[in-house]
C-alpha cells in the first residue's frame, strides 16, 4: 500500500493564481482531511469528508474548495491565491468506523506552497 | 469548549535524559487519546494511543497513560536519543466531528 500520497511536493504561485493539490489514499478509508501547518504552529483543519460525496468545513475553509467524488481522492482547490495561504498542506485519512476522530489518522508527506 | 492543552516548547535535552511532555484535556472524557510525532520534513505519524481510561499506550520506548482523574495524557520516555528529535502532538479522539491537535512540542536531543 502506498498509504496517503500528495502531489506536488513543492509549488510556488503568484498572487491570484489557482491550483489544485492532489491527495489520494489506497486504504479504503472513509474519512479524509486537509490541514494546513504554518511555521512553528500546529495543524488547522481546512475541510474534511466522511465519505464520497460528503464534505464539510473545518476551522479555516476560506479561500479553499474541496470535492470527494471517489473514496480514494480528495483534491483541495485554491482559488485566487494569497500570501496568507503560504503554508505546508497535509492530507490525511482514517477509517472513521466509530465516527469522529476516534481512529488513527494517516498523513501524507505534505505539499509546501509559497504564494508570492 | 473542549480542548487540549499541551506543554509549550521548545524542549532541549541531552541524550539519555528523561522526557516528559504534558498534555491535559478539558472535556469530561474522550473515547481515545493520541500522541503523534512529526520528524523534520515529514507528515505526522501515530506514536501511540490509548482507547480508554487507565489504558497505557506505548511505542519506541515512549509511554502515556490515559488518566481520567487528572484529565491528562502525559508523554514520557526514560532515555531519549538524538533520533527522537521531532515535534510531538497530543490529540483527542472524539465521536463528534471535531478534529484538532495540540499546538505541538518541539524536542531537540543533543549528543
Give the whole-angstrom CA distance, residue B61 versus residue B47: 10
Residue B97: predicted pLDDT: 67
Closest alpha carbon to A107 in A15, A12, A18, A31: A31
Q: How close does chain B come to A79, measured CA to CA in Å?
A: 24
Phi, psi angle pair for B59, to nearest 5°: -175, 135
Which residues on chain A are in Cβ contact (under 8 Å) with B44? 43, 90, 92, 105, 107
Residue A101 above 80 pLDDT? no
Q: In this complex, is the C-beta atom of A89 within 8 Å of any C-beta atom belonging to chain B?
A: no
Q: How close does chain A come to B49, measured CA to CA in Å?
A: 8
Q: In this complex, is the C-beta atom of B88 within 8 Å of any C-beta atom belonging to chain A?
A: no
Interval B16-54: pLDDT, tens: 999 999 999 876 667 789 999 999 989 999 999 998 889
Q: Determine whether the interchain pair A110/B43 forms a contact, defined as Cβ–Cβ distance below 8 Å.
A: yes
**Residue B33's closest chain A neighbor by CA?**
A102
Q: How close does chain A come to B88, measured CA to CA in Å?
A: 10
Interval B52-79: pLDDT, tens: 889 999 999 999 999 988 889 999 999 9
Asked if omega into A7 is within 30° of 0 (cis), the reply is no
Residue A102: predicted pLDDT: 78
Interval B72-110: pLDDT, tens: 999 999 999 999 999 999 998 876 767 788 889 999 999
% of chain A exceeding 70 in pLDDT: 97
Q: In this complex, is the C-beta atom of A2 within 8 Å of any C-beta atom belonging to chain B?
A: no
Give the whole-angstrom CA distance, residue A43 versus residue B73: 19
Residue A88 above 80 pLDDT? yes
What residues contact residue A45 under an 8 Å CB cut-off, 6+ apart? A33, A34, A35, A58, A59, A60, B99, B100
Phi, psi angle pair for B16, to nearest 5°: 75, 0
Interval A44-68: pLDDT, tens: 999 999 999 999 999 999 999 999 9
- Measured between alpha carbons, how far apart are the two ends of chain A, in Å? 36
Give the whole-angstrom CA distance, residue A14 versus residue A38: 19
Amino acid at each position: 500500500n502506498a498509504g496517503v500520497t500528495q502531489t506536488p511536493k513543492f509549488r510556488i504561485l503568484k498572487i491570484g493564481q489557482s491550483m489544485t493539490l492532489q491527495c489520494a489514499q489506497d486504504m479504503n478509508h472513509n474519512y479524509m482531511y486537509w490541514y494546513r501547518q504554518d511555521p512553528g504552529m500546529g495543524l488547522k483543519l481546512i475541510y474534511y469528508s466522511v465519505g464520497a460525496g460528503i464534505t464539510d468545513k473545518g476551522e479555516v475553509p476560506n479561500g479553499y474548495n474541496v470535492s470527494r467524488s471517489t473514496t480514494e481522492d480528495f483534491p483541495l482547490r485554491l482559488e485566487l491565491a494569497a500570501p496568507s495561504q503560504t503554508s505546508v498542506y497535509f492530507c490525511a485519512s482514517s477509517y472513521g468506523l466509530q465516527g469522529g476522530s476516534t481512529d488513527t489518522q494517516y498523513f501524507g508527506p505534505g505539499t509546501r506552497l509559497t504564494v508570492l | 469548549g473542549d480542548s487540549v492543552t499541551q506543554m509549550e516548547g521548545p524542549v532541549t535535552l541531552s541524550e539519555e535524559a528523561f522526557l516528559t511532555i504534558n498534555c491535559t484535556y478539558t472535556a469530561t472524557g474522550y473515547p481515545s487519546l493520541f500522541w503523534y510525532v512529526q520528524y523534520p520534513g515529514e507528515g505526522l505519524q501515530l506514536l501511540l494511543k490509548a482507547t480508554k481510561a487507565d489504558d497505557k499506550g506505548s511505542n519506541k520506548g515512549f509511554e502515556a497513560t490515559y488518566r481520567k482523574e487528572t484529565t491528562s495524557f502525559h508523554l514520557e520516555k526514560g532515555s531519549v536519543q538524538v533520533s527522537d528529535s521531532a515535534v510531538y502532538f497530543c490529540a483527542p479522539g472524539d465521536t463528534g466531528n471535531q478534529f484538532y491537535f495540540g499546538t505541538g512540542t518541539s524536542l531537540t536531543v543533543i549528543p
